[in-house]
Amino acid sequence: MTKAPTVYDVAERAGVSIATVSRVLRTPDAVRPATRDRVLDAVTDLGYVPSGSARGLAERRTGVLGLYFPGFDAVEGIPPLDVLADGQAGPYTVVREDGPRDDGRASMLFQDEVLRGAELEAWRRGFVLMVGVGRGDPATATVRDMAGRVDGLVVLAGSVADPMLERLAERVPVVVLAGPRHGDRHDHVTVSNTEGMAALTRHVLARTGGRAPVYLAGPDDSPDGAQRWEGFCAALADAGCPLDDVVVRHGDFTRSSGRRVGERLIAEGLPAALMSSNDQMALGVLDALHAAGVDVPGDLVVTGFDGIDAGALSTPSLTTVRQPMRELGRAAIQVLARRLDAPGAAPMSVRLPVEVVLRGSA
Amino acid sequence: MTKAPTVYDVAERAGVSIATVSRVLRTPDAVRPATRDRVLDAVTDLGYVPSGSARGLAERRTGVLGLYFPGFDAVEGIPPLDVLADGQAGPYTVVREDGPRDDGRASMLFQDEVLRGAELEAWRRGFVLMVGVGRGDPATATVRDMAGRVDGLVVLAGSVADPMLERLAERVPVVVLAGPRHGDRHDHVTVSNTEGMAALTRHVLARTGGRAPVYLAGPDDSPDGAQRWEGFCAALADAGCPLDDVVVRHGDFTRSSGRRVGERLIAEGLPAALMSSNDQMALGVLDALHAAGVDVPGDLVVTGFDGIDAGALSTPSLTTVRQPMRELGRAAIQVLARRLDAPGAAPMSVRLPVEVVLRGSA
DNA sequence: TCCGCGAATGTATGCGCTTACACTCGTGCA
DNA sequence: TGCACGAGTGTAAGCGCATACATTCGCGGA
């Protein structure tokens, strides 16, 4: 770390010009083996590592792809931590914990999986991945910053305002993940929310003899939620089940909001089925039903949507629709890579299939 | 994307020199408000985004921190996916799923959490995060590549061979995460594995009247495993419980290996307690015991180590020691930031406290 | 009105690399 | 023996930005 060696240092040590050093690193076949070995020795001796900045500047491409998520953690909610200041804490503490925490980690798991897939695919293509999370006041600052450092950007729907996205797209290719196209020219990757919910709804109707389920909707501004609702309605219509009979409850995608709805269900009388627009709320409903001793799926069936792990571990386990999260990440990078190869191609939309997972609750 | 505008374009449009443009962006106070506004207008009009490469080259720092993980996914095991080729798949499939999958996601969850923490702390300090995973044949290529692009590197223990790490450390500061120091000069961040396991062991001994637990060890090459074993032994010694009485079983940190050990336990007669060196194996043990109708914690108590989510959802819920995963990531970045501020400071080791989580199984 | 001085801006250089182009040196051929 | 030619190597020109230094501008005081 004294002073990072450069091509000049390597060149001098190997007794060649910097052009030759560069060639050894980039097109080894273009240089005589004897020369090549001398250069490689010098590289090893000096511990030379090429500067990504210089390379990026000269090449006009960085070899980096960006992945940008909507903020999941409120800035205010961040517990302080300063490992440099306080070394006073003991090596351990003891806590007693009853019942699972309502930690709202679902969307984070989703993002984690997407990230995994994206990293994998980026690696396979010789790119490295840069990640950013939209949060804080100049939330756009981070993504703008990233845009200046990458060859392409994958943006989760909802993390960047449209006008900003438009601007970014002017500089680097942008792929929008999990968001429907609305008049933009970006590439899109989505999942079959509508079809998945329709299939699940048909399953539920078959189980309940066609009686209309109660629908548990999420926030109004969720595009995913809208699509799921659409699939629900379509399946009902197909089955000749009038929409007017459907009771709709609203939650905010959290487990506790589901719990409240569950309690209300019990108070007002159980329907034949409760279909939630996400898993977290469905689990909350199960919490309430379980506490009240209701038999699921005997007294009513319950379904979710997303396929989070916790759904497999609940009692009863949750019937749901699993999103191909990892594949979403991979697909996004694949689409981005295509875009880099063919900048002029028409914008494309990729829609990934979902998996209807039948488990205990329905 | 026609041709990204540069400082020159902005300067020309605003009728100033490039130096002024640069100043507006970096030290706004150093330029007259009227001029500043003209420049900012030009920036907006052109959709100018500064090039990270050029900036990095000129500034001799990139503003990027790297996080490097050991490979979790075998390269061979990657299912193919080519969204560009096959659009033929239907929008959904239906599967029936009984019981949780043995998916070995524990270490990935660990890494995800670390990543979250690191990203958060990097963001707070104005850095962006670059992530890499060690896999593939020239596994070192990725990390070397990263080293050339970042101002500092956080490396999870075991992901990079020591000699390579030494070389990287010559170019950028390196923080080793979750690995003990052995003769190196890097900064280190670890958790109190030893103390945590000792505390948990004391708890178990208190519950079982001092009868020696069976210990379920992991792979021999795990530094974490070694430290936990150490804590276990220390607590036993303190309690005057002879180590000779301890039966040690071996697993490979997977749930299925724990299941096998559980079955063997049942076949050979139940001990007073089973302490596993990680949660996954402990859950496997619970699987086997549950299947055989053994009462936990009535017939024997079971504990794990790590604090993965699945442990909170098992029946009975798993008593364990929770690692501060998020904080590990944050601490690593904090240490790295300090190192960047004070390159000459002595190497430091930070040890984070763990949380003994008492739940149903013990 | 002129001078001096600080603030504001411009000029020019270099960051470390890639690469077009120029050059050197064998080699095969006439 | 002379020449064309290609492989191997060197020279030099940027890539887009930050910044030290030079220059100009605006203002107050004499």
B7-59 has which fold?
A: 434 Repressor (Amino-terminal Domain) (1.10.260)
Q: What is the bridge-based pairing of β-strands B301-303 and B248-250?
A: unpaired
Kind and range of the H or E element at A114?
helix A106-124
Q: Can you give the pLDDT at residue A92?
A: 84
In order, the DSSP letters of B220-242 are TT-HHHHHHHHHHHHHHHHTT--
- How far is residue B82's CA from residue A129's CA, in Å, rounded to a whole number? 19
> C-alpha A207: how far from its chain's center?
32
Both structure tokens of A285: 């409903």
How close does chain A come to B354, measured CA to CA in Å? 5
More confident: B305 or B102: B305
pTM: 0.91
- How far is residue A258's CA from residue A275's CA, in Å, rounded to a whole number? 11
Q: What is the mean pLDDT of residues B176-180?
A: 89
With CB atoms and an 8 Å threshold, state whether B91 touches A354. Answer: yes
Instruction: Answer for A19: CB within 7 Å of strand D.
Output: yes
Say if CB B62 and CB A53 are below 8 A apart. yes
- How far is residue B142's CA from residue A179's CA, in Å, rounded to a whole number? 31
Q: Can you give the pLDDT at residue B103?
A: 56
Query: Range with the lowest mean pLDDT among B152-161, B307-316, B334-343?
Result: B307-316
Amino acid identity of residue A219, one-letter, is P
Instruction: Answer for A101: CB within 7 Å of strand D.
Output: no
Q: Can you give the pLDDT at residue A13?
A: 95
Q: Can you give the pLDDT at residue B74?
A: 58
Percent of chain B residues topping a pLDDT of 70: 93
CATH of the domain spanning B193-322: 3.40.50.2300
Instruction: Answer for B18: CB within 7 Å of strand D.
Output: yes
Nearest CA in chain A to B120: A133
Query: Chain D: nucleotides under 7 Å from a protein CB?
Result: 7-12, 14-20
Q: Which of residues 31-50 of A touch strand D (CB under 7 A)?
A: 31-32, 34-35
Interface test with B, best of A82, A128, A309, A351 (most B CBs within 10 A): A128
Sign of CA dihedral B154, B156, B159, B164: positive
More confident: A320 or B138: A320
Both structure tokens of B168: 């990287």
- How far is residue A239's CA from residue A71's CA, in Å, rounded to a whole number? 40
Percent of chain A residues topping a pLDDT of 70: 93
Give start-end residues of each CATH 1.10.260.40 domain in chain A: 7-59
Spatial CA neighbour of B169 closest among B189, B149, B184? B184
Give start-end residues of each CATH 3.40.50.2300 domain in chain B: 64-74+91-191+325-352, 193-322
With CB atoms and an 8 Å threshold, state whether A335 touches B82. Answer: no
Query: Chain C: nucleotides under 7 Å from a protein CB?
Result: 7-12, 14-20
What top-level class would CATH report for the domain B64-74+91-191+325-352? alpha beta
Say if CB A259 and CB A287 are below 8 A apart. yes
Determine how many CB atoms are found less than 10 A away from the CB of residue A166: 15
For every residue of B91-136, which 3-state class applies, written as one string?
A: CEEEEECCCCCCCCCHHHHHHHHHHHHHHHHHHHCCCEEEEEEECC
Tell me whether residue A176 is exposed, middle or buried, using C-beta atoms within 10 angstroms of its C-beta: 0 to 12, 13 to 18, 19 or more: buried
In order, the DSSP letters of B224-287 are HHHHHHHHHHHHHHHTT--GGG--EEE--SSHHHHHHHHHHHHHH---SEEEESSHHHHHHHHH
Q: Is the pLDDT of residue A139 over 70?
A: no
Compute CA distances A120 → A69, A156, A329, B66, B184, whole Å. Answer: 17, 17, 9, 16, 30
Query: Range with the lowest mean pLDDT among A242-246, A270-274, B43-47, B234-238?
Result: A242-246
Interface test with A, best of B49, B72, B204 (most A CBs within 10 A): B49
A/B interface, count of CB pairs below 8 Å: 273
Q: Is the pLDDT of residue A283 over 80?
A: yes
Q: Is the pLDDT of residue A144 over 70?
A: yes
Question: Cβ contacts (< 8 Å) between A50 and chain B: which residues?
Answer: 148
Spatial CA neighbour of A47 closest among A10, A94, A96? A10
Spatial CA neighbour of A239 closest among A262, A206, A264? A206
Q: Can you give the pLDDT at residue B309?
A: 81
Spatial CA neighbour of A308 closest among A276, A344, A288, A278? A278
